[in-house]
């Protein structure tokens, strides 16, 4: 059993400091601090590229109890800047487990910290908002860390997509009636799996791929993927989407909705502390149904910035009434802010992949 002996510190840009014990890698790491309310699925959270540039605090108190396996990853590696838990389990009890959480973070050079009052930390973020933070195992001087984190780079206007997108065109599967090109801004593997499960042949391309190249692949549809950071930091993606709006069916997910919203003339803004978890209630305005959804985003499209003559609001968040879904009234184009592939999270919204396929079939 590992000995918990190494002190670590989290310092926030507003001067708040927490002390705990480190696990995983040693060192010092900067990022925006956010909290996630999921009770399980920490491996999927760790490997979600949308967390690039962020330090994630889990609200559920015991993390790591079922270990890590090679099958449940959502991307090629973890991209987050740090991981905060109340308690990192020393026991990995699951028949699929291949290594511990501690070992996995060490392998991927991710700093973890435990022994923190995560309820107090979460409450602080809810009240004050997401902010810059640092985790350190080497500099244990509070004043020094606060000074450094204040001087560190934030997420506003920064292009994080270029750090998580694929380097070249890749084929996910070779069979399927409908050819779908995924514009990879940090796509989760389960989105690709769900497309494949819905009779789609899936190709994913780097985020900087232009419209002409995408059309040259002769796809039946385009999926705009999830991704990290500020949507206004990737104007090249918005321009590509603008050029493709009237060319083929388009489905946007999470960051993909923000790309679509900007391409349609809307504006985005930063949420106070974002939506991160597997339990967010979303209302379908057409049917009145309530879906429990998995979400991970810090930015949102401003409902009031959209042209209602061309765009229909389809879904809203029942926690804060923010925009969760749109569709174009004339073009085969729609998007949602939540994650219908549901890994980790509920399966309520998987029907949207079938809706996308039907849209391609009818186009």
What are the tens digits of pLDDT across the range 172-223?
999 999 999 999 999 999 999 999 999 999 999 999 999 999 999 999 999 9
Asked whether the domain spanning 161-362 has the same topology as the one spanning 7-151, the reply is no
The pLDDT of residue 9 is 97
User: What are phi and psi for residue 232, nearest 5 degrees?
Assistant: -75, -5
Q: What tokens were used for 87?
A: 């308690």
The pLDDT of residue 1 is 43
The pLDDT of residue 155 is 87
The pLDDT of residue 344 is 77
The pLDDT of residue 5 is 54
Which of the residues are catalytic? 254, 339, 341
- Class level of CATH domain 161-362: alpha beta
Instruction: Tokens 């809810």: give the residue.
Output: 126
CA-nearest of 71, 89, 82 to 105 is: 82
Q: Which residues of the chain have pLDDT under 50?
A: 1-4
The CATH number corresponding to 7-151 among 3.30.950.10, 3.40.50.300, 3.50.30.20, 3.90.950.10 equals 3.50.30.20
**pTM, two decimal places:** 0.96
**What does the domain layout of the chain look like in residue ranges?**
7-151, 161-362
């Amino acid at each position: 059993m590992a000995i918990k002996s190494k002190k670590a510190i989290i310092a926030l840009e507003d001067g708040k400091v927490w002390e705990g014990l480190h696990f995983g890698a040693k060192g010092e790491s900067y990022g925006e601090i956010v909290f996630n309310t999921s009770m399980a699925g920490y491996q999927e959270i760790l490997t979600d590229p949308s967390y690039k540039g962020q330090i994630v605090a889990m609200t559920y108190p015991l993390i790591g109890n079922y270990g890590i396996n090679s099958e449940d990853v959502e991307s090629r590696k973890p991209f987050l800047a740090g991981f905060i838990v109340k308690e990192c389990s020393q026991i990995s009890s699951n028949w699929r487990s291949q290594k511990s959480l501690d070992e996995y973070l060490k392998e991927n050079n991710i700093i973890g910290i435990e022994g923190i009052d995560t309820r107090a930390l979460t409450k602080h973020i809810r009240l004050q908002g997401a902010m810059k933070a640092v985790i350190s195992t080497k500099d244990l001087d509070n004043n020094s860390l606060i000074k450094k984190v204040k001087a560190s780079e934030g997420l506003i206007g920064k292009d994080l997509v270029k750090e998580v997108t694929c380097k070249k065109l890749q084929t996910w599967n070779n069979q399927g009636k409908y050819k779908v090109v995924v514009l990879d801004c940090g796509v989760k593997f389960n989105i690709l799996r769900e497309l494949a499960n819905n009779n789609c042949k899936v190709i994913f391309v780097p985020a900087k791929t232009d419209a002409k190249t995408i059309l040259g692949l002769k796809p039946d549809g385009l999926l705009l993927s999830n991704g990290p950071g500020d949507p206004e930091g990737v104007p090249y993606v918005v321009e590509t989407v603008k050029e493709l709006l009237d060319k083929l069916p388009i489905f946007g997910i999470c960051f993909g909705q923000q790309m679509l919203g900007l391409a349609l003339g809307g504006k985005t803004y930063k949420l106070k502390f974002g939506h991160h978890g597997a339990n967010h209630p979303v209302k379908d305005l057409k049917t009145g149904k309530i879906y429990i959804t998995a979400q991970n985003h810090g930015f949102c499209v401003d409902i009031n910035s959209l042209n209602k003559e061309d765009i229909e609001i389809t879904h809203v968040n029942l926690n804060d009434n923010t925009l969760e879904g749109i569709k174009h009234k004339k073009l085969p184009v729609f998007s949602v802010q939540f994650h219908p592939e549901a890994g980790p999270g509920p399966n309520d919204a998987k029907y949207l992949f079938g809706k996308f396929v039907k849209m391609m079939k009818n186009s």
